[in-house]
Each structure stands twice: as C-alpha cells, then as structure tokens.
Structure 1
Amino acid sequence: MWIILSFLLLLFSLCFSWTEERLKKLVEDTVKERFGDSVRIESIKILDWKGSAEGNPKVELDMEYGRVRALAYLDFEKKRINAVLSVYWKVKFFVAKQDIPKGTALSAELFVEEERWLRSIPNDFRLNREELENYQASVHIPKGSILRRSIIKPLPVVERGDVVKLIFHSGNIEITTYGTALDRGEVGKIVRVKTQAGKIMKGKVIDRGVVELLK
C-alpha cells in the first residue's frame, strides 16, 4: 500500500515539476499575450536554474514596447526565478520618397511607410499618418531618410495679422470675441493679440485661428 502511495506521490510531483523548457514556454506565452505580434522573441535565458522547480509560478514582466530591457520574474511560493529575454520589436516608420526642402509642409504623399524589426525603437519614430499634415521640415530631408520628430517642427496655425477667435474663461463663464494676432505660432505657443478694444494681451494657441486668453 505504501509503495503504491509513494509511487503516486512521485508521479504527482513529476507532473507538476517545471523543466527549463516549460518555464521558457510559459514566459513566451505571457509575453505574446501582452504584446501580440509586435514582438519577436530571439531567446530566453533562465538564470540560476537548479534543474527543476515545483509549484504554480506567477509570471511578472519587466519590459515595455520598443525597449531593450526585457526581464521576466517567475514567482514560486518560496523562491523567485529570473529570466532574461532577447527580443525584437516590430515598428512602422516613414521614409522620404524624395528630397524634402527645409520648411516644406509635410504630407503622407512625400513618404513611403516601411516595417522592420528593431532591438529598440527611438521615441521620435512614433508618428502616424494623420499627424504628418501638422508639421513642416525643420531641416533639409534627403531622399531615403527615416522621418523622425527631431527633424520636423509644428506648422504655425496662427499667422501675424490673422483675425483670430479669442476665448476667455472665468470660472464657468466663457466669453468669445475676435482680435488680431501680433505673432505667428503653432498649437501650444503663447502669442500676443490685439483685441477689438485695442488692448494688447497674451494668449495660448489652442487650434487653427483660435487663441485662449491668459488671465
């Protein structure tokens, strides 16, 4: 009887004993569940592996889209096993189809969209097609160049001399009037305006032809 019971206990422990390959598969499945097809796993290294582990581990990921750092922590009841991942990230970006002179207003027609796998993704790669029309080239952009935020700047939406809508907020009250812009600026920039009464004030550009007056 004891022999049979011992045998069953042994089988039970073997069924719930983790091998290195099973742990790697668990980590891979967890990564895929979070990031989907935007990540490609090249390798997973289990650190301080002792040959086996038992229990039901909880997997915690320490990784973000586009970042080189990729770690996983497997928390068992009495110990933690760490894993280091080598991954590639899928990224789409725009490549100039032609030379683009400095100051040119951008549009999707000037670029071709490409997709590649990279170890890390610079933050200034992250532009979408809808954003392009809000920018202009801040430098000459040669044909074949990857579009990055560091080589573009926002287009002005208010020009000096434009008649602009002026909005003033006081508590829950909103007052709307019109005035003349004395500066040019993009969304978010502080510009001077001249009210219909001839008073010069400062305001923040919030949209094309719209300035919110500062208190």
Structure 2
Amino acid sequence: MIRPIHSLLTGLALLVLAFFPGSPAEAAGIEGAQVIEIRVLPEAAVYGESYQLGDIAELDGFDIDLIQKLATVEVGKSPLPGRSQRVTKSQIESRLNGLIHPDQYQLLVPKTALVSRASIKISGSQLKEIISEEITKQFKDFKEVNVTLVSRIDDQFVPKGKASYRIARIGQPVKAGGVGSWAVGLEVDTKLFKKLVVRAKVEVIDEVVVAKDDIPKGKTIEEADLVTVEKDVSKLPQNYQSSSELVVGQQAKRQISQNESVRVSLVEEPIVLEKGQPVRLVYQNDKIYLSNIAIALRSGKKGEVVPVRTVDGKKTVYARIVDSEQVEVAL
C-alpha cells in the first residue's frame, strides 16, 4: 500500500509543477498574493508627451507599494494635442511583462479605449485675428494699416498652458507693407510648440508729398509746388517723403509729373555759385579771421569745394561754398 500512495503524491507534485513552472516557494507566493485589478477607462485625457498606466486606468488592491509602482509604468507616447488614439490590452500587457506576474493582476479593458491629449483649441478665425493684430502693431508709426491674410488658417490645438505668439516677417523687405510671408510661432509657456508660415497683404497708408502740378527739370522747388496726400506707401518706392522740409529749396533732377511723389532721389542741391561770380573768400580758425574778394573758377552747390582766385594776389585756392556770396577755407 505504501508504493501506490507514494506514486500518487509524486504525480500530484508533477501536476503542480506543470501549472507553476517556478519553484514551490514562488508558486506559494503567487497563490497567496492579493490580485490587483486594473480597470482601463473608456476615455482618458493626458497632458504630457507620454502617458502612464495611472493616467488611463483605475488600480485597486491591497498592495499599495505595487499599485504605486504600476501607476508609473509608461504605456506609450501621447497623441498630438486635439487628437486621440486607441490603447489595447496587448499594449498594456507588454509594458507589464517582467514587472508583475500575470496571476497577480486582472486587466479589464473596454472594447474601445481612447487616449486623448488635453489641449486648447485656437480657432482659425481667432488665430487670424491675432495674426492681423500683431502685424498691424509692427506698422504703428503709420497713419493707417489694413491687413488681409492670403493663406488659409485652420484650427490649431496646443497643449494646455499659457499660449503666446511670435510673428515676424520673413526676409528683408525694401519697403513698408505689400504682400509677403510671415513666420508665426505658437508658444506654450514660452516654449515654441508649432511654427506656421502665412502670406499677408499689408496696405500701409501714410501722408506723402507729391507734385501739385508738373515740376520742370532744373526748377528750384517751392512750398507752393507741393501738396500732401494720403497714399498706400506699400506701392511706392521706399524713399518717399511725408514732409516737404527736405525737398523745398532743392532742384528737380528731371521733370516730376503731377501727383508723383517727390522723393529725395529726384532732387538735388541747386547751383548757388556760378562760374565767374565774385564771392567773399574767408580764412578762419579759432584765433584768426581773414577775408578777401575772389572769383569762382567753377560753378557749385552749397557744401561743395570749388577753386577760386583772389582778385588782388591772383592766387588760386580751394574753398567750401557756404552760400551764393561766401566761400570758406579752414586754416
């Protein structure tokens, strides 16, 4: 009778080993351990670049230390803000593999479990308004600015936080306004999240000095020759004038047509000293002042250096033109 009982016990031992491949001590430990229940939520919102098991599931059990450890297990990368993605049972099981024995937990996953990235939605119309306002601020020195966005602006989703914007024109424009590309940086908590490129047409209205009537070539321009009007300066050369101060008293290099903007490049200093004209020649420094009468040997404009010959000594010197009556030599 002893041999059959021994054989029966041996068979039972082999049966136990078949179900529990580990040592008898390990099998006894698993059997005595409390099972942790992991209930994955049908929908979960996450905030960071990746999400953990505790972000998408409820964990119940008596082993608090193990529950806390499992809650920090990284399950996957978070979807983009405003997007969702499915999480599967096999995905979670692969993350738990090696950390906990399958018999120590019960994983409950709904038919469809979705993980969404918590985000702030910035509507296309709202973003359009923000971009237009920021571009307008960059032309604050002008009388009026009208911004038309040419590009389509879609809704944007950014992570939760303090949203801000950086907007700068791309390239080096040669004149104010016009059609151009703008870089739009979407920032969250001062960190760049996304960069957009938009096309915008900027109409910049400013006061422009124009010719009241045709101004002939060589004419010295007077205040009566000019009038100030409002124009879109994005369509004008960059050196237009909004004040007549720099052009009154100047001489037209060519004919300036009626209503044409009078620019510095179209005018020049007039000839104030003609060749053969008598002029006062002044020598001076901090301690001495001398003057003489001389004859201009070349015509010139104010500020130019021309040769003159003294009447008495017949000596030729070079002097800077002060005005139509005086030239000066600095000693």
Compute the TM-score of the two structures, normalised by the length of structure 2.
Answer: 0.48
- DSSP 3-state at the match of 2:128: helix
| Alignment match of 2:145 (pick from 40, 45, 60) | 40
Alignment partners' CA distance in 2, 1:70 and 1:178: 59
CA RMSD of superposed structures (Å)? 4.0
Larger radius of gyration, structure 1 or 2? 2
Deviations 1:86-110 (A, max 9, x none): 0112243344444544432211112
Q: Which runs of 5+ in 1 are unaligned?
A: none
Per the alignment, in what secondary structure is the counterpart of residue 138 of structure 2?
helix
Query: Given that residues 105 and 136 in structure 1 are in contact (C-alpha distance below 8 angstroms), is that contact kept between their aligned partners in structure 2?
Result: yes
Higher relative contact order (CA 8 A, sep 6+): 1
Secondary structure of the equivalent of 1:146?
Answer: coil
CA contact (8 A) 1:91 1:121 kept: no
Task: Report the counterpart of residue 119 of structure 2 in structure 1.
Answer: 13
CA contact (8 A) 2:177 2:201 kept: no
Task: Establish whether residue 114 from structure 1 lines up as the match of residue 222 from structure 2.
Answer: no
Q: Which runs of 5+ in 2 are unaligned?
A: 1-40, 48-115, 187-191
C-alpha deviation, 1:28, in angstroms: 1.9
Report if aligned partners of 1:41, 1:88 keep a CA contact under 8 Å in 2.
Answer: yes
Task: Specify the alignment match of 1:29 in structure 2.
Answer: 133
Change (3 A) 1:155 1:85: same
The alpha-carbon distance between structure 1 residues 115 and 100, as it changes in their structure 2 partners (threshold 3 A), is same
The answer to whether structure 1 residue 183 and structure 2 residue 288 are counterparts is no
Residue 129 of structure 1: SS of its match in structure 2?
coil
Contact kept, 8 Å, 1:194 with 1:201, in 2: the verdict is: yes
User: Would you say the 8 A contact 1:167–1:174 is kept in 2?
Assistant: no
Question: What corresponds to 1:202 in structure 2?
Answer: 318
Give 1:82 deviation, angstroms.
1.5
| Aligned ranges 1:128-207 → 2 under 5 Å | 128-141=243-256, 144-149=258-263, 151-160=266-275, 161-164=277-280, 166=282, 177-178=290-291, 180=294, 181-194=296-309, 198-205=314-321, 207=322
SS at structure 2 position matched to 1:23: helix
Aligned CA distance change for structure 1 residues 30 and 65 (closer, same or farther; 3 Å):
farther
Match in the other structure for 2:183 = 73
Q: Distance in 2 between matches of 1:166 and 1:27?
A: 61
**In structure 1, what is the equivalent of residue 208 of structure 2?**
93
- What SS does the aligned partner of 1:25 have? helix
**1:12 & 1:198 partners in 2: Cα distance?**
93
Distance 1:50 1:100 in 2: 52
Query: What code does the residue aligned with 1:41 have?
Result: N
The 3-state SS of whatever aligns with 1:56 is: strand
CA distance in 2, matches of 1:102, 1:64: 28
Shift in CA distance, 84/136, structure 1 to aligned 2, threshold 3 Å:
same
Shift of the 190–71 alpha-carbon distance from structure 1 to 2, 3 Å rule, reads farther
2:164 to 22, 33, 56: 56
Return the offset for 1:120.
2.3
Count of equivalent residues = 204
- Give deviations 1:55-108, integer Å, cap 9, x for gaps: 433222345753535332222414321222101122433444445444322111
Q: Percent of counterpart pairs with the same letter?
A: 18
Letter paired with 2:122: W
- In the TM superposition, residue 122 of structure 1 has moved relative to its aligned partner by 0.9
Task: State TM-score, norm by structure 1.
Answer: 0.68
3-state DSSP class of the match of 1:29?
Answer: helix
Q: Residues 65 and 29 from structure 1, CA distance in 2 versus in 1: closer, same or farther, beyond 3 angstroms?
A: farther
